[in-house]
A and B are shown apart, each in its own frame.
Chain A
Amino acid sequence: MTHSVRILLKSPKFLIGAIATLLMLALVVIYPLVNKSDPFEMKALAFQPPGSGLPLGSDNFGRDLFLELVYGIRTSVAVGLIAGLCATAIGLIIGLASGYVGGWIDNVLTAVTNMFIVIPSFIILILVSVSVNSRSSLVVALIIGLTSWPWTARAVRAQTVSLRNRDHVNLAKISGHSTPRIIAFEILPYIASYVVMAFILQVASGILAEASISMLGLGPYNTISLGIMMNWALVFEAPVSGAWWAFIPAAFAIAVITFSLYMMNTGMDEIFNPKIRS
């Protein structure tokens, strides 16, 4: 374990991604402690350009855009994390169950997984978001998580099927270990690095999915997320007013977060994949 972490820290791609993510998270955690004002408070006239008091200018309601951005990143990352956790957990459970148990359970679960893969998840996301009445950021995160697990499930299943017939699993069986123990100690450690990679990818796509539905106006209520900021900028015609500061920083923040997460994922992929393949 410590060995893997040490190799990871030698990968420049992983390092760049991890440092960018950590810096972003540090900003998001520390800044609200320094600047304690309410992000919804109106401080200036509408669409003031960036200046001394307002580092990123003001939006259509005259609110501090930098403070909004900080709170927006916070919500978006939280939504992405919850969605990623949810999707990875469901994918892992379904993949392990169908891969390890096999038989008709495998057939049923694979059929369900394939159905979810075939239906574009974004359509389900929009339909569910429209039909749900109260959308808190948690509900949105869960909806995203519930629609994005199939690829993880499929990959975990494939890995589990190939591991199930290895001799060390057979040896554990004839040593009298129980099935949950075999899954936990003989299968999971072998796919752990893959699962972590899948989780990071799920977080990134969760953040993107939240931004997409929020831009369509189907995002969470009573909160600020990066997608909602973009949505406000669109609705209140910031591009027409030439107020680039209302949407460019938000878009840039989305790009930086997802990019750094993808970098981490690629860095891990380069290191762990040969190990998984062997």
Chain B
Amino acid sequence: MKNADVLLSGTNITKVFGYGKHKKTAVQDVSFSFHEGEIVSIVGESGSGKTTLAKMLMGLLKETSGEVRYRGKPRQLKSHADRKKYWKDIQAIFQDPFSSFNVFHKVEKLLTDCMKLQGLKLTKEEQFRKMKEACSFVNLKFEELHNKYPFELSGGQMQRLMIARIFMLHPKILIADEPTSMIDACSRSTILDMLLKLRKENNMTIIFITHDVGLAYYVSDTLYIMEKGRIVESGPAEDVILNPKHRYTQQLISDVPKIHEEWNLAN
């Protein structure tokens, strides 16, 4: 995995919100390099800056300082056309499926928009076939769904539709910002399996953002541990989990509730 091409990398990225007295540094001096086809997890507690980092990677927030390089070149996000090009390769799934949908649009529009972003000119039948294919990939029936509004679906169905969207776009990099935190445990494993399947089919790089170390260990090749806006430890998942060096990583690992042990809340 290490020999694969570096797809997205960043050096000394810092994000500061506000100014003067209200200045708040959300992400500080973060450096990383993500390789092609790799699953990377960024783990940290709430408020550690992982979502801010994710938004900067998506190009939704501008970094205060530092440089993000995409395919070895500094990324261009100045004009709308540049951004559109970038978003063809980099896509995201958000945390809360209920707020990811525009409640005024039918489900179908989410998928037709994908084809618009790709600039595909397809006939009605081809569009229909593509959407059907994407839905069957995530075990949904397009015929039952396309005429529905988002609030008529369950959280798991919504999140699966989001994955169907990614399937249609087949981006190079997928940023998944806690995609399973708002849905039940049963749907959770299905969603994770689908993400892994996506990687297998398209050699997609997945950046998985989570607070759950166990989950991160289960899915990823490389781990980045974030605390208070800094990356405190990083490396291959096995090394980080089995041989944690930083105090915070050790604490995170010991805080994972274990079913067969008594859970001691005192420390």
Contact = CB atoms under 8 A, between A and B. Distances in A.
Interface of A: 166-168, 170-178, 185-186, 189-190
Contacts of A173: 60, 87
Contact of A178 (B80, B87, B101): B80
A21 to B, nearest CB: 27
Interface of B: 55, 58-60, 80, 83-84, 87-88, 90-92, 94-96, 99-102, 104-105, 113-114, 116-117
Contact of A167 (B91, B95, B104): B95
13 contacts: A166-B99, A167-B96, A167-B100, A168-B102, A170-B55, A170-B94, A171-B94, A174-B91, A174-B92, A175-B113, A176-B117, A185-B104, A185-B105
Nearest to B83: A176
A168 B101 contact: yes
B60 A172 contact: no
A185 B60 contact: no
Contacts of B99: 166-168
B58 A174 contact: yes
Contacts of B102: 168, 172, 185-186, 189
Nearest to A1: B104
Interface hub of A168, A171, A174 (most chain B Cβ within 10 A)? A174
Contacts of A167: 94-96, 99-100
A100 B7 CA distance: 32
A276 B149 CA distance: 18
Contacts of B101: 168
Contacts of B87: 173-176
Nearest to B84: A176
B73 to A, nearest CB: 20
Contacts of B100: 167-168, 171
Given A170-B58, A170-B60, A176-B88, 5 more contacts: A167-B95, A173-B60, A178-B80, A185-B104, A189-B104
Contacts of A170: 55, 58, 60, 92, 94
A175 B60 contact: no
A178 B96 CA distance: 23
Contact of A174 (B60, B96, B105): B60
Contacts of B114: 175
Contacts of A175: 87, 113-114, 116-117
Nearest to A166: B99
A114 B94 CA distance: 36
Which 5 residue pairs of A and B lie closest in terms of their CB atoms, listed nearest first? Answer: A167-B94, A176-B84, A167-B100, A189-B104, A176-B117
B29 to A, nearest CB: 25
Contacts of A186: 102
A169 B132 CA distance: 25
A183 to B, nearest CB: 13
Interface hub of A170, A175, A176 (most chain B Cβ within 10 A)? A176
Contacts of B60: 170, 173-174
A199 B107 CA distance: 31
Contacts of A190: 104
A176 B86 CA distance: 9
A156 B192 CA distance: 39
Contacts of A189: 102, 104
Contacts of A174: 58-60, 87, 90-92
A164 to B, nearest CB: 11
Nearest to A169: B102
A1 B33 CA distance: 48
Contacts of A178: 80
